[in-house]
């Protein structure tokens, strides 16, 4: 995710074709050993700031291996999904980082699911997932243009028509099993309009959709 709702590419940046991408090493292990490389943007195209990404991945690695102080807030799959980074020249390629974060989120969620199954049992997990899915479906089944709160006409929100199109696809997935992937939901982006849907509410529902999809994998 991009920090402060900045666009993934500045308006004056060139198209992706012909961009010069160079791989560099991300230090995600506290002992200094090398981790898999992430590609780095070159030229005018911006990417995620390297220091911010490196710091987050280092913390995530330590958290996953239970090597953090007990007073440190527990990192979860939701924490990974909400991670945001500023854009900078020479930063990591956005798509590559987002893909890595998706895999990291999957790993954290798998552990959370295993812990929940051990504590609460399979039936509780299934019932909770079904309940969450029904709550989402009830909202997305509302009339177009009325599925989320609107911001005032003095402010910008997500374009209503674009959100409603995505909502229809997700509704089809939840009710009819129509093909939609977690990666597609994670990659959703909307343009802005005055009086559009409230961003935080739409984002919260999309986050819930991702959790349901991971739960039923």
| Pick from 139, 190, 194, 176: nearest CA to 5 | 190
Element (H, E) at 78: helix 77-81
Please tell me whether residues 41 and 137 are part of one structural domain. Answer: no
Structural domain including 106 reads 3-110
Give pLDDT tens digits for 95-153: 899 999 999 999 999 999 898 888 888 888 888 888 999 999 999 999 999 999 999 99
pLDDT in tens, 34-93: 344 899 998 888 999 999 999 999 999 888 888 777 777 788 898 898 899 999 999 999
Quote the pTM value. Answer: 0.66
Of 110, 131, 146, the residue that ends a domain is 110
Residue whose C-alpha is closest to residue 210's, from 30, 90, 82: 82
Q: How many domains, in total, are found in the chain? A: 2
Q: Which among 110, 141, 167 is the end of a domain?
A: 110
Euclidean distance between CA atoms 209 and 175, whole angstroms: 13
23 shares its domain with 68: yes
Whether residues 93 and 140 share a domain: the answer is no
Check whether residue 12 and residue 94 sit in a common domain.
yes
């Amino acid at each position: 995710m991009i920090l402060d709702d900045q666009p993934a590419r500045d308006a004056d940046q060139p198209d992706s074709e012909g961009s010069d991408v160079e791989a560099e090493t991300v230090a995600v292990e506290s002992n200094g050993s090398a981790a898999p490389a992430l590609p780095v943007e070159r030229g005018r195209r911006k990417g995620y700031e390297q220091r911010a990404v490196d710091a987050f991945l280092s913390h995530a690695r330590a958290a996953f291996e239970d090597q953090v102080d007990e007073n440190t807030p527990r990192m979860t799959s939701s924490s990974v999904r909400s991670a945001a980074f500023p854009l900078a020249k020479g930063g990591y390629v956005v798509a590559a980082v987002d893909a890595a974060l998706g895999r990291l989120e999957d790993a954290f969620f798998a552990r959370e699911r295993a812990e929940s199954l051990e504590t609460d049992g399979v039936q509780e997990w299934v019932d909770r997932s079904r309940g969450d899915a029904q709550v989402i479906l009830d909202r997305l089944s509302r009339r177009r243009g009325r599925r989320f709160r609107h911001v005032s006409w003095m402010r910008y929100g997500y374009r209503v028509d674009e959100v409603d199109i995505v909502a229809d696809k997700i509704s089809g997935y939840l009710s009819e099993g129509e093909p939609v992937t977690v990666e597609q939901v994670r990659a959703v982006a909307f343009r802005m309009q005055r009086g559009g849907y409230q961003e935080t509410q739409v984002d919260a529902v999309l986050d819930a959709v991702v959790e349901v999809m991971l739960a039923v994998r």
